[in-house]
Structure 1
Amino acid sequence: MKSRIIPRNDSLCALCRIREADKTGSHMVPNLLTAVTFSFDGKTKRDREIVELYHINNPEDNAIYYGSQVAPEKIAEDLGHEITDEELEKNTNLLCYDNIFCYQCENRFGVLETTYGEYYKGLKNDINPRIAYLFWLSVYWRMAIGYMGIFMDGEDEFALRDILNKNIHSYNEIINSKEKLGDYGYVIFRVKDGIIKGDSGILGTRTPHCPYVILVADYVVALFNNYKKLHSKVHIFNWEIYKEDINTPDKPFDYIEISIEEFYEFRDNIIDNGYNEGLGAEREKLARKIREYERSQGKPVNKYEVKKLMDMAHLVDSENVHLRVRKLYRFEAAYMKMIEAQKNGISYDFLKDRQLMLNQEDINNYIADLQNLRKHNYSIDGFPFAKEFLKDETITSFEEIINKYRPT
């Protein structure tokens, strides 16, 4: 099965920058977290993932990825037919990358993942704060170099690489080391009642400055630089956080429990941040090219020159009208469930569906987005609930589209 490949300026390992990047199938987000997030049947083993486009900030061309251990009947149920050879050929693993690291550095990450995994799965009640700190710095850095949800400021990305490369050794070497680990701090929120498939994803804020916020598995994590200079209180979206609740490598690891509703609020804020504050298509392309050049040189380039280039790309982005339909996939799921309920004579209210987490404000936003599409002369035929919400009989309903292509 193919993995993702990032165009790079050299073939050296992204971490050590000495050996060739000869490792294939590397996870940017550790498997212990992706398995929980994407497993089709809840079993947290490798290659059981089903990854939909809307669960990853930066998807590739294919709409969905099926792990090699996903049950064939589940794939057939999703696709409406058995998977074809052509579909298998296009089935790129969205979670794995080739030729980013060397084998030795990949194994170094394994030291962190094994120890953190024991804590995450409840096999141990606590974890050494230096291990936890390096683990989360490694997740952030790998997500950044894999363009997997976040785009970091160059100074932070290179600082994290330096910290990780100097300090990831054996377990005993890490916990006994007196080496300074930089001036970063991170706060962790964790869902207290667990998650079900569809709740989570691999998401991150796409603004290249702190705090960097990511959502993966049942975690929301915010990373701060210049920890010592932080005020006694900081804000993450609508959350106010006390500095004492921010983890560092020098104090016991802890997290803040949140409800599933609060988890979804974080998720929506992260998605909205990507849309409202992201770089834009052309700036993102240019930023990636610049960053790959920087990585090959081992240091950030002149920020003034970068800003001039990015401003030019922004002019191209600003000429394009940004149109979106918020939470479209959830309204599609709601419509399908509604049709199924009607067929079976069952009462169904999608506003009370735990798996969808939709509310009246979401409906209002959805209607506004449909109206905006119309304003820019886009057809909204076939959009779920468009006919019903806009009370317009000229719109082709979602159900009519489904029935048109449904096998007889």
Structure 2
Amino acid sequence: MICALCKEREANKKNTHYLTDSIIRTCLNLDGANEREAGFYFDVSNNTPFVDFNFQRGTSIPKLEESLGRQATEEEIEKAKEIPFSVDYVFCSQCEDIFTSIETPFIETILPQFRQVNLTGTNQIELAQNKIVKLFFYLQVWRTAICEDVYNLSEDTMERLRLTILNSDSIENCDIPNFPYHITYLQTVGDASAYTNNFVGCTSDRNPNIIFMNDFVIQFFEETNLIRTIDFYGLNQTNDLAQFINAGNESVNIKVLPNQRRLDLVGRINREEKVQKSISYFVETFAKQWFMIFGGFPNQYLTQEYLQFISAGGFDILKYTQESIVEKTTEFIDLKLK
């Protein structure tokens, strides 16, 4: 296989993170630890009523099961052998060095301006290092489009990004393509474990193409005339979108979302993307099984009693797999038959 960046050398590199590891690591790891392969993470972007749950090879299994409230499944254990948000044999070693040359200046000079300062009361941060910032976020966008089937860009956009990254060392800032992009920084207050509430992953939306990278959110547009505002659970506001669209060679303006709004955003995504879908699925499963046995559908009071039974008074969808819901539903009906 030929390297996706240079298109010349063999793709011989294993474990290339297509989202920069040092940015996403504290979100993925237990207690927000800044260690490799020692935590778990959740994918809420699928189309099922269940959260895709994954954990990494170095995770403490007792702590994992304490957090989940259940044992990990064999499928989850098998998937733990994979390294999240990384790929094998897509890029070559020389191009990996190019990636590092783009990531390092951002990590060393830009990241501390967000994570190592108190941003309370700050609504935006203006950065003069346009080339460093632009190349870093272009790299995340291009690699994600290469490695994730759901994240799609046009062939022309992909090629322009590829050539920019390939020639990043010599290219002048004025020659870098000016794709409009919007960056939100999610202020994350508390100890290191607070980062584990954030998300890592991408959506299938187009213009904006959205990537969550722990405490950074990228919204990428392929053309200026395609810029549009979507609420996305409170991430965006119509009255300030234009203010934070970066589409030139001047300074970069990054929006800062206060910690409480970050928590509201995370909560809305969880509720609207998963919890409501899960409850609807559970109710439908119960109704079908009840109908098969009794020839009629359960009334609303019985349905509420069923939901109380499977949730034990609380509702944490991470505790449930599809198999366990069928078992709990059968158990509830058996109790009613006695």
TM-score range, shorter chain: 0.5 to 0.7
- CA distance change for structure 1 residues 390 and 47 in 2, over 3 Å: closer, same or farther? same
Residue aligning to 1:37: 27
After superposition, the Cα gap between the structure-2 partners of 1:168 and 1:49, relative to the gap in structure 1 and judged at 3 Å, is: farther
Give the structure 1 partner of residue 131 of structure 2.
130
Rate the CA distance shift 1:246–1:190 in 2: closer, same or farther, 3 A. Answer: same
Deviation readout 1:31-50 (Å, 9 max, x if unpaired): 12211211212222322332
For 1:152, what is the secondary structure of its paired residue?
coil
Distance 2:132 2:185 in 1: 18
1:74 matched to 2:63? The reply is: yes
RMSD: 4.2
- Per-residue Cα deviation, 1:154-213 (whole angstroms, up to 9, x for no partner): 333333223222x322xxx45xx2552113021111123447244222232313x31212
- Note closer, same or farther for the CA distance 1:193–1:395 as it changes in structure 2 (3 Å cut): closer
Q: Output the amino acid matched with 1:221.
A: I
Given candidates 196, 204, 207, the residue that maps to 1:206 is 204
Q: 1:199 to 1:108 in 2, by over 3 A?
A: same
CA apart distance, 1:153: 3.3
**1:307-326 → structure 2 map (5 Å cutoff):** 326=273
2:120 is the alignment partner of 1:121: no
Task: Report the Cα distance in structure 2 between the residues aligned to 1:101 and 1:373, rounded to whole angstroms.
Answer: 45
Higher RCO structure (Cα 8 Å, ≥6 apart):
2
Identity %, equivalent residues: 20
**C-alpha displacement of 1:258:** 1.3
**Equivalents in 1 of 2:180, 2:268: separation in Å?**
21
Contact persistence 2:181–2:246 (CA under 8 A): yes
C-alpha separation between the residues in 2 aligned to 1:401 and 1:164?
Answer: 52
Aligned residue for 1:190?
185
Question: How big is the shift at 1:87?
Answer: 3.9
Residue in 2 that maps onto 1:168 = 168
User: 5+ unaligned residues in a row in structure 2: which ranges?
Assistant: 118-124, 292-299, 313-326, 332-338
Q: How many Å separate the matches in 1 of 2:219 and 2:136?
A: 14
User: 1:48 — aligned with what?
Assistant: 38
Match for residue 140 of structure 1? 141
Alignment match, 1:21: 11
- 2:54 is matched with which residue? 64
Map of 2:230 onto structure 1: 236
The answer as to 2:96 corresponding to 1:106 is: yes
Q: 1:58 to 1:106 in 2, by over 3 A?
A: farther
Letter in 2 for 1:187: H
Q: Contact 1:183–1:225 at 8 Å: present in 2 too?
A: no
Q: Return the offset for 1:98.
A: 0.4
Looking at structure 1, the residues matched to 260 and 302 of structure 2 have their Cα atoms a distance apart, in angstroms, of: 25
Structure 1 stretches of at least 4 aligned residues deviating more than 6 Å after TM superposition: 79-84, 268-272
* C-alpha displacement of 1:113: 1.1
CA distance in 1, matches of 2:133, 2:62: 39
Paired with 1:44 and 1:81, the residues of 2 have a C-alpha distance of 25
Is the aligned partner of 1:391 residue 2:338?
no
Deviation at 1:121, TM superposition (A): 2.8
8 Å contact from structure 1 (residues 13, 101) kept in 2: yes
Partner in structure 2 of residue 320 of structure 1:
none
**Contact 2:131 2:173 (C-alpha < 8 Å) held by counterparts:** no
Structure 1 residues 242-251 or 19-28, which shifts more?
Answer: 242-251
Distance 1:139 1:204 in 2: 11
State the Cα distance separating 1:140 from its structure 2 match: 0.9
CA distance in 2, matches of 1:271, 1:148: 23
In structure 2, distance between residues paired with 1:33 and 1:373: 40
Aligned counterparts, 1:344-363, within 5 A: none
Residues of 2 paired with 1:398 and 1:133: CA distance?
46
Amino acid at match of 2:310: S
Moved more, 393-402 or 188-197: 393-402
Please tell me the residue identity of whatever aligns with 1:201: F
- Alpha-carbon distance in structure 2 between the residues aligned to 1:16 and 1:253: 28
Is the alpha carbon distance of 1:326 and 1:242 closer, same or farther for their aligned partners in structure 2, counting shifts above 3 Å? closer
The amino acid that maps onto 1:236 is I
Separation in 2, partners of 1:114, 1:252: 19
- Displacement of 1:251: 1.3
Question: Deviation digits for residues 66-85 of structure 1, max 9, x if unmatched?
Answer: 243x446534645878999x
Asked if structure 2 preserves the Cα contact closer than 8 Å seen for 1:205 and 1:214, the reply is yes
